[in-house]
Structure 1
Amino acid sequence: MGKRWIMHVDMDAFYASVEQRDNSALRGRPVIVGGISERGVVATASYEARQYGVHSALSIKKARRLCPDGVFLRPRIAYYKNISLQIRRIFANYSPYIEPLSLDEAFLDISGMELQYSDVREIGKAVKAEIKEKTGLTASAGIGPNKFLAKLASDLEKPDGFVLIPYGKEREILAPLPIRKLWGVGKVTENKLIAAGYKTIGDIAAASPEMLQAVAGNQGRHLFQLAHGKDTRTVESERRSKSVGSEHTYEHDLRQREEIDGQLRILAAEVARRLRRQGLMGRTITLKIRYTDFETITRSYTFDSAGVYSEKQLYFSAQKLYAKNTLGAAVRLLGLTVSQLHSLAVQENLFSEDDVIKETVTTVIDKIQRRFGTQAIMKGPLQAVSDDGFKEDFDKKE
């Protein structure tokens, strides 16, 4: 059996690069794409903007301070999606096994493809060249024996980079790199490891799993494997959503319960619509609350029943979860997510005639909103949840 080769392709500053490609006046200028209000966040920053310290997930307010001469643009998501599909069609020329991670990056299992090229490096170069030729955009690519190494490699020489990590060279290449390059090491874990004396991936590789577990908990054994260049995950070409959700950052802080309830209802409607669109329902509901001081908490509930998918169920659950919030502080962000997903399969005889009518009306509303936008038609205020078994299920665990 031949060697396993995984490629990771990551478009360089994707949204900002698209804007610079389409508007020559923006080339060479610091371009920041994201929510342009004071409460917005940066989605993508061009490399010119990054020189000022601007990066994704940074607040727009801070980005304006760091880069006052930057060009701030709203994202054109539908347009970026079309370009992303064009890039994925290019990927299909090189492998049938493609795992998109987002609009701007994906894994490809190119095992066996090296037999059609003089060297596995030529595959990466060919993908990059075809993307440049057909879209006018640059991508960075990495190839390695597994997903972790491929993703790490694609990040080593950005932008417009290409790095191959060959078999037998994994530990040599990994050893001098900082521990933040390990997949899954965030700021908190990084600080813990540095405090314990681990600064490089080589330091992690030289430790024992038990020593790492004492510092990083259950993640310790996983980090030990990665530090040795080991990752057994496969490219999932038939990826299924692990969760469906929505979140909003608000222009002004939410203080009144009536105001918060109204936003919970909007979130419930959005998530319910997305679940229906994918034919899914889920068992676990999670509410995310971020306060004006940026403290963030989450509250979750898992149902014993098959799951939930309707706006009414989601809204009621969000209300109950919010009631567990005892801080009483002003709210900056709310998010609602459904996980533990499975196919929506509801037996018709479980519905009353009224329920069937409501579902039919909901389907019609979905069609109108898809064609004319979500504001074209909306439901009126939700009625109180009746004793349909749903409320009792939630209350059992109170």
Structure 2
Amino acid sequence: MSRQVASRQTTPVEVDDGSAPILHVDMDAFFASVELLDHPELVHLPVAVAHEGPRSVVSAANYPARKYGVRSALPLGVARARCPGLVVLPPRRQLYRRFNAIVMGIFTDVTPAVEPLSIDEAFLDVSGARRLFGSPGRIAQSLRERIVAETGLTCSVGVAATKFVAKVASTQAKPDGLLIVPAGRTLEFLHPLPVSALWGVGQATASALAKLGLETIGDVADVPERVLARAVGPAASRQLLALSHGVDPRRVALVSEPREEKSLSQETTFEQDVSDAVQVERHLRLLARAVARRARAAGVTAATISVKLRRSDFHTLSRARTLSAPTDVGETVANMAVQLYRESGLSGIPLRLVGVRMEHVRAASAQASMEVLWDDEEKWREADRALDALDGRFGAATVKPASALRTPRTSSFAGPRTAGEGTAAG
């Protein structure tokens, strides 16, 4: 099925029997690779993409940097300690979005069944494209060649009968590889891999499995469900057993289909820990308005608002509440975010990161039938429309409402849209 060099596996296009119509395409070191298009002299040097600052973290690292243990989400200071010769380039988000649009356009030229997972990866179902473009393996190779030709970037592609196996295959093929796993050879491919390759297995679950002597996916597949359930719980045991046998019934969602549990979020890491509640609330309001602006731009609303609060010791607390009706109004989101912070018990406690999330989003048009003759948000909705127009003309954050620059005198928000407590996690 494959030839293996170190931990990387690839297959020739000919290894394909048509039983594997699902592709997982993952761009290689996407942010770093885009930056290196403008800096070809740095291609063979260790490069990371990150903002400069004492609290900065690595957004992306190229493969030479990864040999030193430099990875995304690693504090920049730690990255430089591991790799003294690290070249750091500032991120350019708009540029990444431009390349993402090109790549996604290449995908949709082949099939409408494209499910983006993030800015640099997507699932494709090419079942309906075989008559025009050939076998899944040949389609995958054609996509790789076209992406290189049109962007100068490389990608790795996993081809399999299910989404889970396709994603694992693309990981095994990195960088710049193609790995095809025919349906009949799924278990042969999966079972030698470590348990960490299973979705949902982090350090805690891996440790629990190790106590049972389970080190590979094949080990998990051979364990009775009742034994596995005692270690990881009944729900997780059922999922792990299904995946260990290559079972994954999820289909690829079309671009036009909304994905369940979709959310929008924005967060910021402070240069220095912030304990002053006024400053924390100001940042929460700015983040809330930024998230609401993204929701309006995407034509969606959300009924659940949550905040993420990370202390200086890295302990993270989340609080969420569900409104009585979905919203995309910045003031409503901001007031709820501030209320959740005030109720968290962390007022005055040094924080290193805060974030705001709008959860369970849906198309704004779905709210039309719920509208009444009056709208208590209308004045804020008009203000948002005016701010959106200014942002579109002069750039985001050109004008901010006064409430985003100072904390209101009122001690709590008693808005009519609050329905009750949703979830709270410590």
Instruction: Give the TM-score taking structure 2 as reference length.
Output: 0.86
SS of equivalent residue, structure 2 residue 402: coil
The reply on whether 1:169 has 2:188 as its aligned counterpart is no
The reply on whether 1:287 has 2:307 as its aligned counterpart is yes
Residue 115 of structure 1 deviates from its aligned partner by: 4.4
SS of equivalent residue, structure 2 residue 24: strand
Which digits, 9 at most, give the CA deviation of each residue in 1:216-274, with x for residues without a partner? 22211011111001111111113436111211111111111111111121122112212
Aligned 8 A contact 2:52 2:90 in 1: yes
Provide the C-alpha distance between the structure 2 equivalents of 1:53 and 1:294, rounded to a whole number of angstroms: 21
2:129 corresponds in structure 1 to 113
Instruction: Give the TM-score taking structure 1 as reference length.
Output: 0.92
Residue 100 of structure 1 deviates from its aligned partner by: 1.1
1:338 corresponds in structure 2 to 358
Which digits, 9 at most, give the CA deviation of each residue in 1:131-189, with x for residues without a partner? 11221111111100010111111111211111001121111111110011112212222
Note closer, same or farther for the CA distance 1:372–1:118 as it changes in structure 2 (3 Å cut): closer
1:141 corresponds in structure 2 to 157
1:211 corresponds in structure 2 to 227
Aligned length: 393
SS of equivalent residue, structure 1 residue 168: helix
Provide the C-alpha distance between the structure 2 equivalents of 1:195 and 1:127, rounded to a whole number of angstroms: 43
Provide the C-alpha distance between the structure 2 equivalents of 1:98 and 1:189, rounded to a whole number of angstroms: 31
Provide the C-alpha distance between the structure 2 equivalents of 1:18 and 1:397, rounded to a whole number of angstroms: 39
Residue 126 of structure 1 deviates from its aligned partner by: 1.3
Note closer, same or farther for the CA distance 1:21–1:336 as it changes in structure 2 (3 Å cut): same
The reply on whether 1:233 has 2:250 as its aligned counterpart is yes
Provide the C-alpha distance between the structure 2 equivalents of 1:360 and 1:118, rounded to a whole number of angstroms: 52
1:276 corresponds in structure 2 to 296
Q: Which of 185-194 and 108-117 deviates more? A: 108-117
1:157 corresponds in structure 2 to 173
Residue 279 of structure 1 deviates from its aligned partner by: 2.8
1:89 corresponds in structure 2 to 105
Provide the C-alpha distance between the structure 1 equivalents of 2:312 and 2:257, rounded to a whole number of angstroms: 36
Aligned 8 A contact 1:19 1:26 in 2: no
Aligned 8 A contact 2:49 2:91 in 1: yes
Aligned 8 A contact 2:19 2:160 in 1: no
Counterparts in 2 of 1:15-54, with a 5 A limit?
A: 15-54=31-70
Aligned 8 A contact 2:329 2:380 in 1: no
SS of equivalent residue, structure 2 residue 306: strand
Note closer, same or farther for the CA distance 1:135–1:74 as it changes in structure 2 (3 Å cut): same
Aligned 8 A contact 1:7 1:108 in 2: yes
Aligned partner of 2:374 among 344, 347, 350: 350
Over aligned residues, Cα RMSD in angstroms? Answer: 2.3
Residue 290 of structure 1 deviates from its aligned partner by: 0.8
Larger RCO, structures 1/2 (Cα 8 Å, 6+ apart): 2
Provide the C-alpha distance between the structure 2 equivalents of 1:95 and 1:117, rounded to a whole number of angstroms: 10
> What residue ranges of structure 1 are gaps of 5+ in the alignment?
none
Aligned 8 A contact 2:320 2:423 in 1: no
The percent identity for this pair of structures is: 36
Provide the C-alpha distance between the structure 1 equivalents of 2:68 and 2:328, rounded to a whole number of angstroms: 44
Aligned 8 A contact 2:19 2:182 in 1: no
The reply on whether 1:223 has 2:250 as its aligned counterpart is no
Note closer, same or farther for the CA distance 1:60–1:52 as it changes in structure 2 (3 Å cut): same
Aligned 8 A contact 1:144 1:164 in 2: yes
Residue 397 of structure 1 deviates from its aligned partner by: 11
Aligned 8 A contact 1:282 1:341 in 2: yes
Note closer, same or farther for the CA distance 1:118–1:323 as it changes in structure 2 (3 Å cut): closer
Note closer, same or farther for the CA distance 1:351–1:139 as it changes in structure 2 (3 Å cut): same
Q: Which residue identity is paired with 1:220?
A: S
SS of equivalent residue, structure 1 residue 130: helix
Residue 88 of structure 1 deviates from its aligned partner by: 1.6
Q: Which residue identity is paired with 1:380?
A: A
Aligned 8 A contact 2:159 2:179 in 1: yes
The reply on whether 1:389 has 2:416 as its aligned counterpart is yes
- List 4+ stretches of structure 1 deviating above 4 A: 115-119, 382-388, 394-398
Residue 195 of structure 1 deviates from its aligned partner by: 2.2
> What residue ranges of structure 2 are gaps of 5+ in the alignment?
1-17
Aligned partner of 2:218 among 185, 202, 206: 202
Aligned 8 A contact 1:212 1:220 in 2: yes
